[in-house]
Structure 1
């Protein structure tokens, strides 16, 4: 029964990606009143930029990160600095992009929030390849290695990494979507008795779990959030992100 249910979920998620790719699920709005709120928890300079001082971070004249612009076409972003119950109380959708290690209380709060019906999208990169202006050890630097094993274990998953894989961005398929990856990880189901129903794509790049009344979608890489690049890469990268966000976060 578990296999058939997982196969059905994989098919439905693939259908969601296919519909999003056709533009049927992506419905950006220019009116703030029409936008749903999306909580954003990330060490990447998506919302605040990568300035080294407060004045630069608060400079509204500086160009927005393209990821922020794409997300704000559909959502009103709510940047979060913690994942405690009071931070999660007012959001139904949440995006974690290369998050810092979570405190034990945050793991519990996030799991409870998800079980209550939340929609969660996680970019979990085992070896971040996005360039940073800050040196290793600088607290302003993005999280180089994602450390979220406790919450993954709650959902019966493990993030693995192949150190022998070649360096360099490439595009790969997962379900009916395509994604740019660079030194990606691999999700593996390690606990079939976990109180969640997970399905993992071939190769392990993409996973989706039904947790209580909620749903979490996980991508084992964050290269999709890198700078846009040249040629046809910007539009292709934007489409890949838009389609994944639509499939993962729509109710």
Structure 2
């Protein structure tokens, strides 16, 4: 009798252990299938800019300081994208499905412009922020090469694509507030895209009263924004409690993310981005 009870006890223990193991496996399987989307790999994004987004204007010492922090726009963007800063288009080896963000980049040599155009036409996707009159604050005086570029130097590329970047003439230069795709935006001295005759194959649609242009070139696509100041945290982050609570005063960064999402998913901008 004792032997039988002992055997029964062993079998019962094994049964309980088996049930517990199955339960753990089911819970793990359920977690794996319901894990948050944030755990998915971030889409790759290459970025070239003359703005102090990746590195500060204070140099290496400032970037290595204990209280150093990335620019708020870069921090927001890096939460959704795997960002790779680049400074040479010709040496850049794009990852599969990697997009390119050019935010008021340096001037390109003619061969670099040809390289960029070829990459887009072969299926590349690029978002270009081109400001005709950048008002971004800087530690360096006017004329210093370390300052962000005052005006975009990509006019030859835009002209080839059938676009012209202009600065609307106004008596004053107030902050510009617009609503684009349902998003309230604030910036300063934004430019405007105008159509221009070109012999190159492709087509561009002008949206948001000239602030945006959506261009299809060969197998690729380029979204152009006639402004870069809207990335400056001074125009969208707000002050006081807004910073502490993480609530933005204006949706500038949401617009940037929406444009990148449209590029990534190859969605058109017509309709949602007419602008006011």
Residue in structure 2 matched with residue 11 of structure 1 by the alignment? none
2:238 to 212, 219, 229: 229
What's the RMSD between the two structures over aligned residues?
A: 2.3
| CA distance 1:88–1:205, shift in 2 (3 Å) | farther
Which string of whole-angstrom CA distances, capped at 9 and with x for unpartnered residues, describes residues 10-61 of structure 1? Answer: xxxxxxxxxxxxxxxxxx9644x7012100000001111221x323234575
Shift of 1:146: 1.0
Name the SS of the counterpart of 1:167 in structure 2.
coil
Q: C-alpha distance in 2, partners of 1:246/1:89?
A: 18
Residue in structure 1 matched with residue 24 of structure 2 by the alignment? none
TM-score by length of 2: 0.73
Residue in structure 1 matched with residue 172 of structure 2 by the alignment? 166
* Structure 1: gaps spanning 5 or more residues: 1-27
Q: C-alpha distance in 2, partners of 1:116/1:239?
A: 29
Q: Which runs of 4+ in 1 moved over 6 A?
A: none
Determine whether 1:245 maps to 2:245: no
Contact kept, 8 Å, 2:131 with 2:227, in 1: the verdict is yes
* Structure 2: gaps spanning 5 or more residues: 1-35, 267-276
**What are the within-5 Å matches in structure 2 for residues 1-251 of structure 1?**
30-31=38-39, 34-51=41-58, 53-59=59-65, 61-84=67-90, 86-90=91-95, 92-164=98-170, 166-174=172-180, 177-191=183-197, 193-227=199-233, 228-230=237-239, 233-234=248-249, 236-251=251-266
Q: C-alpha distance in 2, partners of 1:115/1:218?
A: 15
Higher relative CO (Cα under 8 Å, sequence separation at least 6) belongs to 1
| CA distance 1:245–1:75, shift in 2 (3 Å) | same
Shift of 1:174: 4.3
Q: C-alpha distance in 2, partners of 1:174/1:189?
A: 20
Q: C-alpha distance in 1, partners of 2:198/2:160?
A: 11
For this pair of structures, how many residues does the alignment match? 221
Contact kept, 8 Å, 1:48 with 1:58, in 2: the verdict is no
Q: C-alpha distance in 1, partners of 2:95/2:146?
A: 27
